[in-house]
Amino acid sequence: MSPSRTSASFGTGLRRSLDDRIRIGPAIPIPALLREHGVEPGPLLAAAGLDERLLDDPDNRIPFDVLGRLVHAAVEATGCEHFGLLVGQRFSPATIGPVYQLMRNSGSLREALRTMVLHLHLHDRGGVPYLIHPAPREVGVAYGVYHRSDLDVAPIYDAAMAIMFCAHRDLCGPRWTPLRVMVSHRRPADLVPYRRFFGAPLEFNAEHSAIVMKAEWLDAPLPGSDPALRAAFAELIREKEAAEALCLTDKVRRVLRTMVLAGTASAEQVAFMFAMSRRSLHRQLHAEGTSLQRLGNEMRFEVARQLLNETDMPAGDIASVLHYSDASAFSRAFKEWAGVSPREWRQGFRRGSPAFATGARSAAAPRADRTR
């Protein structure tokens, strides 16, 4: 799926067609953590637009942007750069919901991860989990934020990696250990909390946020898995999927991040993913007011912005991540999206200009030479 010129506007990031609410369960530890740092949570919750009573029920949903504003405000108020990591460390299976319960009762870690990839949108529509294979006999479980405006997503990624780590330890038992932890934001000033918690090599400024482990763990049976509970939670998930069905546009968005990074975002591959013909894919997306080209370009812009804003990766490396033929092709494409070069974008973002957090201007999607 090579880019072509469209009239898509990327001025506010990805088009907000889907309900971007997230289950509030993982945020429940935030008030207690704020108090432990000497900060009264009430004013911060109110400023973020959150009623503290919502935290009484982990099944309540809040907009993803609200969660992002709250975590960012908590980092600012406490002066604790790794506040997101602390939130994730308070992981509790009871706050995660039925998707995690189905994972916990799966026959193997492979089955559990497939459940997460297919169904996490029932709990979280601001990000997407996916699998990567960074080296032979390795597998990484990654999480990508794809539905945001001006969020500072570094603490969100810290929380997600901590939750992922705790979940794997809970699923596989205390013998499970990661090979390394990849995080797609800049190296923090204080690495001690990260080293102490993960106990594994850390890779910041990475193209993915992922927990990487030996692939042999995929076929390990999960201790305590109960087939009867598995069947019960599988039925519950089927009912929820029927009640909360996504349109094709939103389903395609969820898989495109992985496919863009893997260099496999072709019409043929996307159509195959959804067991439909290319013609049917294009026809249905057109009926929903978009196109595969537009969605792919939105996702490339989103990934490019995130890596420019939150990592120190050189533009040439970002071009490689997005499978452009060279840095100049990426720079031309980005300038058509944003109205400025990648370097100007990064400089503007670091100066704190709001335009560089949310998108610069209405822009046409690029026509650029790319590798397949």
Q: What is the mean pLDDT of residues 7-23?
A: 48
| Tokens representing residue 91 in the block | 């992981």
Stated as kind and residue range, the H or E segment containing 344 is helix 342-350
- In the prediction, which pLDDT does 257 show? 76
When mean pLDDT is compared across 65-69, 195-199, 326-330, the lowest value belongs to 65-69
Closest CA to 112 of 271, 225, 260: 225
CATH class of 248-358: mainly alpha
Above 60 in pLDDT, residue 306?
yes
Which of 118-122, 150-154, 330-334, 335-339 has the lowest average pLDDT? 150-154
User: What pLDDT score does 210 carry?
Assistant: 96
Question: What is the per-residue pLDDT for 101?
Answer: 93
Whether residue 15 is predicted with pLDDT greater than 60 in this model: the reply is: no
Burial status of residue 16 (CB atoms within 10 A of its CB: 0-12, 13-18, 19 or more): exposed
What pLDDT was estimated at residue 81?
95
Helix axis angle for 292-310 and 327-338, nearest 10°, is: 100
The count of other CB atoms within 10 Å of the CB of residue 300 is: 29
Question: Which pLDDT belongs to residue 5?
Answer: 32
Cβ-in-10-Å burial (0-12, 13-18, 19+) of 247 comes to middle
Residue type, 362: S
Domains of the chain, by residue range, sit at: 21-219, 248-358
Closest C-alpha to 146, from 334, 296, 30: 296
Contact in structure between 114 and 133 (CB atoms under 8 Å): no
Tens-place pLDDT, residues 277-301: 999 999 999 999 999 999 999 889 9
pTM exceeds cut of 0.85: no
Encode pLDDT of 173-186 as tens digits. 999 999 999 999 99
Band of pLDDT at residue 10, cut at 50, 70 and 90:
very low
**pLDDT at 356 > cutoff 80:** no
Task: Compute how many other C-beta atoms are within 10 angstroms of the C-beta atom of residue 59.
Answer: 11
Q: pLDDT-derived band of residue 147, with 50, 70 and 90 as boundaries?
A: low
CB-based contact 44:98 (threshold 8 Å): no
Nearest-10 crossing angle of helices 64-78, 154-172: 100
Under CATH, to which class is 21-219 assigned?
A: alpha beta
- Which pLDDT does position 148 carry in this prediction? 54
Selection from 76, 349, 369, 164 nearest residue 181 by Cα: 164
Is residue 126 scored above 70 in pLDDT?
Answer: yes
What integer pLDDT is reported at residue 89 of this predicted model?
96
Mean of the pLDDT values across residues 131-139? Answer: 92
For residue 358 the two structure tokens come to 């949310």
pLDDT at 43: 92
3-state secondary structure of 248: helix
**21-219 with 248-358: one CATH topology?**
no
246's tokens: 């996504």
DSSP-assigned letters across all residues of 186-245? PPPS--HHHHHHH-S-EE-S-SS-EEEEEGGGGGPBPTT--HHHHHHHHHHHHHHHHHTP
Mean pLDDT of 145-171: 86
The reported pLDDT for the residue numbered 150 is 60
